[in-house]
A and B are shown apart, each in its own frame.
Chain A
Amino acid sequence: MSSSYILSLTTFVYLGATAIYLLYWIFRLEKVGILGTVVTALGFIMQTVGIGMRWHESYQMGYGHAPLSNLYESLVFFAWVTILVYLVVEFKTKNRVIGAFATPFACLAMAYASFSPNVQDSIQPLIPALQSNWLLAHVITCFLGYASFAVACGFGIMYLIRGDGPSSSYLLEALPSRRALDELMHQTIIFGFLWLTVGIITGAVWANQAWGTYWSWDPKETWSLITWFVYATALHARFVRGWAGKKIAYLSIIGFVSVIFTYFGVNFLLSGLHSYGSS
């Protein structure tokens, strides 16, 4: 059994988790909620094993590198971190409805990685530019940021569909209050912002070591800066009267669109130094 087979199976596990969390949201049965957590945790373990196997396979092929070097591997890692961040949030808030808004991101990423003809799942050797210890630091920090922003986007959507009142409908009353969502959104955005910043910095250190320039306005770099500006706006918006809440929720969604563009759009639509991320 190959790692990519196991990883493609996790797509369905996360799909199942999403469905179970939705059922939990609708029927509010504690047992269903627990099942959702169990299935998500199982998917996470399965995916961890898959990633470990892929790492091992790369050594068997004589390449020997961490599975973080191309689009397929980064998508898998993105889904993995998203689930990790979500499980931490669930553990801290004890609210399982959030799962219905977070697990779909992981499921979509895995589905795209496993089944899109644009994404190659073969293990490739590292070209000279990628042969650096900074690869690990750079990719891990960036994706911690991306995954946090995915969860923050989930919170933003929840905030917008959650009305102002105490319980405007049966479905909405299960969501955390707007105040709680605002706080969660803020915390996740700060967390993601920290990692995005560290990701940009590790990228700069690496670029300086490989090419002699820490910043060259390559489209990917520029888009990560654009994303940084969007979240900087979200973080400062709290201090302007009348900007808190709804506007920040919109910004967390716009920010995630910018993350997605930084991640995919740049690879497919624009060319630059990061072109190895597109195959």
Chain B
Amino acid sequence: MKSKANDSKANIVVRFFSSVKLAIFLFIILAITSIIGTVLPQGESLQFYLENYGPFYFKIIKNLHLYDTYHAWWYLGLMGLFSINLIVCTIKRLPYTLRLYSRDYLDLAKDDLLRRPLRTKWQAREKTNPGHLRQEIVSVFSALAGKPRSRQDVDGGQLLLSEKGRWNYWGVYLIHISVLVIFAGAIFGTFTGFKGRVMLLEGEKTDHAIQMDSHGNVKKIPLGFDIKCNHFKVDFYPNGAPKLFKSDLSILEKGKEVLHKSIVVNSPLTYKGITFYQSSYQSVPDLKVKMVSSDGEQKIFDLSAFDRGLWPEKGILIGILKYLPNVHGAPAARVYVGDPSGSNGDAVWLLMGNDRELNIGKNTYRISLVSAKEKYMTGLQVKKDPGVWLVWLGCALMVLGFGIVFWVGHRRIWLWIGEKDKDLHIILAGQTNKNKVSFEREFEKIKDGITKQIGEQ
């Protein structure tokens, strides 16, 4: 008695998790909640939400993790429930589908045929030699319906069946399983792979990628080899729209080049499972600045990008604040010049061909911009995702499943033929679960073929 009660309890649970109603409920809830992340900006700092939405909504956003909706516990929970729904549903329907799939559709009585959606019957007297008409009808059926299987002694006659697309029943399974395969691929990839960035000046190399988490903490991920940017190129269309971003890259193992490839957007480079994508670029100045001190000494600084120049003997630090490639036809740079502590210094504009004088400490310095070039810095997206092939496998299975569900039907056409009181009795019956219109046309064709055969004898 008790076990029976448990049984029904378990049944209720199984029925709940396998029900189509739960699936529909989840579809609707997922559709509605997915809207949140498209309306509310995602991935901003908590401060941002407090300032823009006020303390009340901030509390909701924070507790429900709405700043990162699609990774929130409740959203992943819904996805998990969806997966359970799929698994339980698949297992529960399996015996039923197996029965449909393995049933012998030739195991029917004559009268069963008359209950099929499409059916028709004839009665004819054989006029020529006995057995001839019967043979002709069978061969017409085989020619039009496809090679049949047959069974003798069915209610005093012969039953033939031409069957196609029985595996149609597995199409839905393929779709359902493919969703799980995609989920598995995504989860596997999340735990075994990484995403990061690399910024490289032309000529520069690195052995790690940079990853920034949502709190702004920077993490270095070792690549296991060096990647070097030899050259970067950017091209524009006449209307100013970008045409090409191209990085010429080298992979170095222990300082030796093992791979050399140019990448553009849509054509990345993969080495040892790690892929580098062209994602952005920056133009950075490459300047030479000359300082001549009033005591006769001088120094030339190579200031590339964000480097700073030091003149320790004089206690001077120099750095680029801003660079403009063209001010009235000449390049200009705003530089900070002063002592390294920053307490005593000045920011000045240097225009090429236009020297400036500055007093720092006890000396006067004459500062000039000697040369100004531009260098590119390429921005690469770095990714390792060992789960991606599972995702593609899932996608392929899903499309295949849809193909089967949409185009393949389980189509059955029966022919029963038997003699009674010297008359030939014929029944033609048909059934399909897909594309009924074109099936009806096919059925009509076979029907006409048989009618013609009877008339012609």
Contact = CB atoms under 8 A, between A and B. Distances in A.
A202 B135 CA distance: 53
Contacts of B42: 217
Nearest to A198: B399
B70 to A, nearest CB: 5
Given A129-B266, A131-B266, A222-B34, A214 B279 contact: no
A278 to B, nearest CB: 15
B39 A270 contact: yes
Nearest to B29: A229
A240 B27 contact: no
Contacts of B437: 92
Nearest to A128: B265
B392 interface: yes
B38 A223 contact: yes
B95 interface: no
A55 to B, nearest CB: 18
B20 A236 contact: yes
B381 A233 contact: no
Contacts of A270: 38-39
B35 interface: yes
B98 interface: no
A205 B23 CA distance: 27
Given A131-B266, A213-B383, A214-B391, A197 B399 contact: yes
Nearest to B407: A194
A208 interface: yes
B279 A197 contact: no
A272 to B, nearest CB: 8
Interface in A215-269: 215, 217, 219, 222-223, 225-226, 229-230, 232-233, 236-237, 239-240, 243, 258, 266
Given A131-B265, A225-B34, A217 B28 contact: no
Contacts of A212: 195, 268, 275, 277, 279, 381-383, 385
Given A194-B399, A230-B31, 19 more contacts: A125-B243, A128-B264, A129-B265, A193-B402, A198-B399, A201-B398, A201-B399, A210-B265, A211-B277, A212-B275, A212-B279, A212-B385, A214-B391, A217-B42, A219-B38, A229-B27, A233-B28, A233-B31, A236-B24
A198 B396 CA distance: 9
A1 interface: no
B266 A226 contact: no
B241 interface: yes
A59 to B, nearest CB: 15
Interface string B103-119: 00000000000000000
Contacts, number: 111
A190 B268 CA distance: 35
B352 interface: no
B21 interface: yes
B180 to A, nearest CB: 15
Given A198-B399, A208-B388, A190 B20 contact: no
Contact of B195 (A213, A222, A232, A233): A213
Given A219-B38, A236-B20, A270-B39, A204 B395 contact: yes
A95 interface: no
B405 interface: yes
Nearest to B68: A217
A191 B241 contact: no
A209 interface: yes
Q: Which 5 A/B pairs are nearest by Cβ-Cβ distance?
A: A229-B31, A128-B265, A212-B383, A219-B38, A132-B266
Contacts of A232: 27
A132 B268 CA distance: 12
Contact of A226 (B21, B23, B34, B195): B34
